[in-house]
């Protein structure tokens, strides 16, 4: 019933249902998982983290997904060391998985721990040698640049601001299509059809 309520956007009622189920059986993992999802959807991140941490004490098999979600939420809350510990736990359980190394590398890159970020990126590439995205991040790290996601898009910023002249090499007054800044779409006058 709680899942049906949550699927129909009735998170408050679903939350109550899951809490009642857990009051009857504190080790009811499905209710705990769903409670974590509802808390996350409602923006109650510390409560979602608490649910995921309890789930990790109850689950003995295949905790990768739980740890990934927990690591992501911890990082979003600024709890970087705890987030990195979750990625490390994933990496130690599956030596061939590049994902924890990729994610840890990005966090370390973002916080400026260059040596550890480089190690993490190299470990990710060791497990997935054709991962161009990680290779690009490693290149940016070596050049002292932030992650690509953190780089400003000068064309998008000029387009949103309505300032064509701010871009070097583009003539002023070029026609532009309307853009939706949330989608980061821009008119590129140099693109060939």
Instruction: Tell me if 124 sits within 8 A of 105, measured CB to CB.
Output: yes
Which pLDDT score, from 0 to 100, does residue 19 have?
78
Of the segments 72-86, 147-161, 171-185, which one has the largest average pLDDT value? 72-86
What are 46's two structure tokens? Answer: 């510390």
Q: What is the pLDDT of residues 100-128, one digit of tens each?
A: 999 999 999 999 999 999 999 999 999 99
Work out the percent of the chain whose per-residue pLDDT is above 70: 68
More confident residue, 24 or 102: 102
Instruction: Work out the angle at residue 112's Cα, subtended by the Cα atoms of residues 167 and 135, and round it to the nearest 5 degrees.
Output: 70
Q: What is the largest CA-CA distance in the chain?
A: 69
Work out the mean pLDDT of the chain and round it to a whole number: 78
Cα 82 to Cα 70: distance, rounded to the nearest angstrom:
9
129: CB partners within 8 A, 6+ apart: none
Which pLDDT score, from 0 to 100, does residue 152 have?
54
Which pLDDT score, from 0 to 100, does residue 164 have?
44
More confident residue, 131 or 31: 131
Sign of CA dihedral 84, 90, 92, 95: negative
User: Which of 84-87's residues contact partners 24+ apart within 8 Å by CB, and which partners?
Assistant: 84/108
Neighbours of 15 (CB within 10 A): 21
3 state SS of 19: helix
Cα 105 to Cα 55: distance, rounded to the nearest angstrom:
26
Q: What is the pLDDT of residues 49-86, one digit of tens each?
A: 999 999 999 988 889 999 999 999 999 999 999 999 99
Which pLDDT score, from 0 to 100, does residue 185 have?
39
Cα 154 to Cα 167: distance, rounded to the nearest angstrom:
7
- DSSP letter string over 21-68? HHHH-TT-HHHHHHHHHHHHHTT-HHHHHHHHHHHHHH--S--HHHHH
Identify the helix (H) or strand (E) that includes residue 14. Answer: helix 11-24
């Amino acid at each position: 019933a709680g899942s049906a309520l949550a699927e129909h956007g009735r998170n408050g009622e679903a939350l109550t249902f899951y809490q009642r189920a857990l009051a009857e059986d504190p080790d009811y993992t499905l209710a705990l998982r769903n409670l974590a999802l509802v808390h996350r959807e409602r923006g109650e991140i510390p409560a979602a983290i608490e649910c995921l941490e309890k789930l990790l004490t109850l689950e003995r098999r295949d905790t990768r997904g739980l740890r990934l979600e927990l690591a992501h939420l911890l990082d979003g809350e600024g709890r970087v060391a705890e987030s990195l510990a979750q990625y490390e736990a994933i990496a130690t359980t599956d030596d061939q998985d590049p994902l924890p190394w990729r994610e840890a590398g990005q966090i370390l890159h973002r916080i400026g721990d260059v040596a550890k970020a480089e190690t993490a990126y190299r470990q990710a590439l060791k497990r997935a040698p054709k991962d161009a995205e990680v290779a690009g991040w490693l290149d940016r790290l070596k050049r002292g640049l932030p992650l690509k996601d953190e780089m400003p898009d000068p064309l998008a910023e000029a387009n949103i601001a309505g300032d064509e002249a701010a871009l070097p090499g583009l003539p002023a007054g070029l026609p532009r299509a309307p853009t939706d800044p949330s989608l980061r779409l821009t008119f590129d006058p140099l693109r060939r059809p």
